[in-house]
A and B are shown apart, each in its own frame.
Chain A
Amino acid sequence: MKKVSIGRTLNLFLTTIIVPLLIISIFAMYYATSFLSELSKNNNLQIAENLKVSVENFFSEPENDLRILRDLLLLDELNASNMDEYTQVFEIYHKNQSKFHHYNIVDVNGISIYNYPLEQNNVGFDYSNSEYYNAIQSGSEKFWSKTHMDTRFSQISIDFALPLQDHILTGTIQLESLSNVLNSILEEDGVIVGITDNTGVYILHSNYTNVEQRITDPYVNRRVLNYEEVQINNDNYFGTNIRSNYQGWNIVLYEHVSKQRDKVLQFSIILSVIIVASTLVVILLGNRLNSILVENLSSFVNRTKSIADGDYSESVDESRYIEFNEIGSNFSLMAEKIQKRESKIVAQNREIETMNRNLELRVQERTKELQESNEMLEQTLSNLNETREQLIESEKLASLGNLVAGLAHEINTPLGIILTVVTYMQELTEKIKGNLSNNALRKNDLLKYTQSMEESEILIFDNVTRTTDLIGSFKLISSDQMSDENRMIDLVDHIENIVRGLEPSLKKKDIHIELMHSGSFEIKTIPGSVYQVMVNLIMNAALHAYEHMGGTIEIELFEDEDTVDVVVRDYGKGITEENLKRIYEPFFTTKRGSGGTGLGLNITYNAIKQSLKGNITAQSEIGKGTAMRVTLPKNIEEKKEL
């Protein structure tokens, strides 16, 4: 795991504060820009609307004024022949208003009949082609002209005309004077405010030059501006224009983009200052916190080093922070306790070392003792194994003993017969010899003798043959018994031979064996092992099932596809369930006192499992008997194990 310092972690923590702060600021700026823009737009529109109202009010005043003049003129029922009275009225009137610069009255033909002030000298001029004349003649109640250059005064002017009975009264306003009056509205830094006549030419403008130079507003005649960025004199402005219902005049307002930018910039600067200040505060506080932590912690670090080096005397520097002091005093307490514990541990360690040394000696002694015991045990085991081998061998020999006993019994009978016949023959021969020497031999006696001899020979031959057969089978069995080689055998014959060998001893116990099979079973197996297995099973049944009661042992053979089953069944007393589980254990016997070794079934089991690659199962029921089923492969070489 990568190790990092607290300082760096603290920086990371500060970063997690500063980054969101910056992100929020950027969003704030973005939205503030939109907001300020919308605000300016509405503001400009409002200014334009106000201006519109102001202008409409402003121009409604001279309209009313001129109407008053007209009413005055009409009231006095003046006529053109009495100019002095006109002049008196105009003088009084003109003193009380300031909008109009001069006035003119034209007659029905458009010819000027009077003007005030009189110096204008345009009486007699023809205005019949003028817009106002045509408009009033066409029935208009009033008419504002376009702006025009008033030649006499070199002033951009605008005329207001009213019908005066069949005459027309006009007043002329010099726009420059209006500009002065409207200065307060028109002047604002970075903002162009203007009013145009219905042709788009400025009547009023923040910069009067635009009025003087008869400049046409570049946009009012073409499109409505709603705080859109436009160019004026190669400079960018946000333009707003609205049309007044008044004479088709337009109010235009252009705010220099820099003004908007200034607002954003101003906002940005304030925001930036706040951000920078708060960032700095965070950094400074963070650093201070960092240095406090690092400074105090380094004292602890040094202390821990000292403690690690075993120096418990050094104390932590006094801190002005309660928490660090508390940690410091805890640290000292901890050091003290560690020191005590360490001393205790050292003492205990010494004790343990001593104990360890004693223990080691004892272990060595014990080990030695154990080794000796082990050797003794090994010896005992070896002896036991040897004894076991001997016992197994004894078992083998015991079974051979049974065989030999049977064989001896079998051979004994024919040999007895032969002996009897031979004795009889000797008697007959002696009798014949006596008769011959006595010449008392009769033909009939000789014939009888010969006949007896032939009969005796046959009898001897039969018994000798029988004996030979018995010995042959004994030889085969005994040689098998000593050999582990496998070969093809007829299992039925083999078992019959075994049974035959055992019959004499079984007869003594009044045991009768019944062999049941459905023909011959040729199998390839180890005959010696089969012999040993069968003898053990039969003798076991004879010995344990029937004890000395006598009974029948059934040997039944079944054939399967690859295997042959040999079931040795008795109808004796049976084996308890508990004992049935243990019958294959070595040295397990219920006849310990009666000379049982407890190895018979163990050997049998091993022989079947290991040598014959077969299987053995036992079923038993108390009082009903036991069935031992031995399953053997038909070909031992093809079957590893069943």
Chain B
Amino acid sequence: MRQQAKFIALLIFILMFTACGQNQNIRIGFVGTLSGPNSIVGISMRDGILLKVDEVNAAGGINGQQIELLIQDDLNDADKIKSINETFIQDGIDIIFGHELSSKAKPLFEVIKDRELTVMSPTLSTYELSGIDDNFFRTIPSNYDQGTELGNLANLESKKTLFIYTNANKKFADGVNEGYADSFSGSTEEYPVKTNIVDEAEAIVDIYKSGNFDSVMYVMNPDDVMYMSQMFFKHQIDTEIYSSNWGMAVNMLDKGGRAIEGATFVSFMGNLDGPRYLSFRDAYYEKYQKEPEFAAVYAYEAASFLFEALKESDSLGYLDIKSSLLNLGEQEGLVSPLKLDEFGDIKRKLFLAVVEDGKLVILE
């Protein structure tokens, strides 16, 4: 009997035996708007960081640890943003990446303020967050700087600008608007799009027609920029178009057609002929079969910057990561060098890009 019992035990052992066990991954939460009309930046940002994560994991991870990206769609909703971030924190996530729009700063900070984690955004540019010693890091210049750049250009071409912005991202728009207003010598009027552009476009055209404007300034997503421009085109209104970087999408210019010709966008991407950018672009194109948007480039850069810091960091504790990020020094970005200041903010050169024959051309 004893022998049979042994064999049965062996059989059960064999049946029950399954090799299990996972390596400890570095878990990074990703929050962005991935669906709906405002999703283009979030999707690009996600695609950018995913490419970087794939590359790092394929090369063996960070100090042997694989990166696990936990992607959440915030539906561009403040409550959702808060709940996602809170859940991440509750789940013991040490690093959160994303939050592409300035409008997300408020709900984000409501959750992360004074919490022990590291938050990085490649595109959240509201200047209100500048100069604060906190756990938030970004690799994009402030929105105010964008407004300034566009304002300086508008001085050469325009007298009166209709400032059309998505009310949902008012915080970002305000920064741009302030920068624009501070540098633009002409006059401005604001029109916040409160519902959606499709419904309000005709009204905006009417305001434009009646207001003696010669230029528009968009702080909207690319789809809305294209739609609004088509509406002006439809009404045969020839206007100077200025747009924050948010409205720029190289893959969406076809939607603008001739309506978007001559429009000027703030661009964070200057020299696109450098080997680092070209190498990134090829990898991106291979993976996604499309050109990288600026948000993808910035997400990739920011992720590279973060991962370099993680390599040097003693732990995933936010103080260690912060120290590592701030001490990392100047890193070669894809399009220009980047270095964080003592507040975790960045100073980078801005560019302006004009649509010529359906393509973006950087203004010298």
Contacts and interface: CB of A to CB of B under 8 A. Distances in A.
Interface of A: 11, 14-15, 18-19, 22, 25-26, 110, 121-131, 148-149, 151-152, 154, 198-201, 209, 212-214, 216, 218, 221-222, 233-234, 268-269, 272, 275-276, 279, 283, 287
B257 A154 contact: no
B286 A221 contact: yes
B288 A125 contact: no
A590 to B, nearest CB: 92
Nearest to A153: B198
B1 A126 contact: no
Given A149-B37, A154-B37, A216-B288, A18 B234 contact: no
A216 B47 contact: yes
Contacts of A199: 288-290
Interface stretch (B6-14, B86-94, B325-333): B6-14
Nearest to B44: A214
Given A125-B233, A130-B255, A287-B1, A268 B287 contact: no
B290 A151 contact: no
A128 B226 contact: no
B39 A22 contact: no
Interface residues of B, number: 50
11 contacts: A11-B1, A26-B14, A126-B230, A127-B254, A199-B289, A221-B287, A222-B287, A275-B11, A279-B4, A283-B4, A287-B1
Nearest to B199: A152
Contacts of B12: 272
Nearest to B18: A261
Contact of A129 (B25, B39, B46, B253): B253
Contacts of A233: 71
A22 B11 CA distance: 7
B233 A151 contact: no
Nearest to B290: A199
A221 B286 CA distance: 6
Contacts of B223: 149, 151
A176 to B, nearest CB: 11
B40 A222 contact: no
B4 A214 contact: no
Contacts of A15: 3-4, 7
B197 interface: yes
Given A11-B3, A18-B7, A129 B288 contact: no
Contacts of A22: 7, 10-11
Contacts of A214: 34, 39, 43
Given A124-B230, A213-B35, 15 more contacts: A18-B4, A19-B7, A110-B258, A125-B259, A129-B253, A129-B257, A151-B198, A209-B35, A214-B43, A216-B47, A216-B288, A218-B54, A221-B288, A268-B15, A283-B4
B68 interface: yes
B227 interface: yes
From B7, B73, B233, name the one whose CB has the most chain A CB atoms within 10 angstroms: B7
B68 A128 contact: no
A272 B4 CA distance: 15
A19 B4 CA distance: 9
Contacts of B196: 154
A164 B256 CA distance: 22
A154 B40 CA distance: 12
A552 B208 CA distance: 184
Given A152-B198, A221-B287, A128 B258 contact: yes
B21 interface: no
The 6 closest A-B CB pairs, nearest first, are A124-B234, A126-B257, A199-B289, A213-B34, A212-B35, A125-B230
Contacts of B288: 199-201, 216, 221
Given A199-B289, A200-B288, A128 B7 contact: no
Contacts of B197: 151
B36 interface: yes
A264 to B, nearest CB: 10
B235 interface: yes
A123, A125, A131: which has the most chain B beta carbons within 10 Å?
A: A125
A593 to B, nearest CB: 97
B40 A149 contact: yes
B11 A124 contact: no
A237 to B, nearest CB: 16
B301 interface: no
Contacts of A129: 253-258, 358
B289 A221 contact: yes
Interface string B173-207: 00000000000000000000000111000100000
A127 B253 CA distance: 10
B254 to A, nearest CB: 4
A200 B50 CA distance: 15
B224 interface: yes
Interface in B33-78: 34-37, 39-40, 43, 46-47, 54, 68, 71, 73
B254 A131 contact: yes
Contacts of A127: 254, 257
A148 B227 CA distance: 14
B287 A130 contact: no
B287 A154 contact: no
Given A22-B11, A152-B198, A214-B39, A124 B4 contact: no
Contacts of A126: 230, 233, 256-259
B116 to A, nearest CB: 24
A30 B289 CA distance: 41
Contacts of B43: 213-214
A510 B209 CA distance: 194
Interface string B24-36: 0100000000111
Of the candidates B3, B290, B358, the one having the most CB atoms from chain A within 10 angstroms of its own CB is B3
Contact of A279 (B7, B202, B224): B7
A22 B231 CA distance: 77
Contacts of A234: 25, 68
B180 to A, nearest CB: 24
A275 B7 CA distance: 11
Contacts of A283: 1, 4
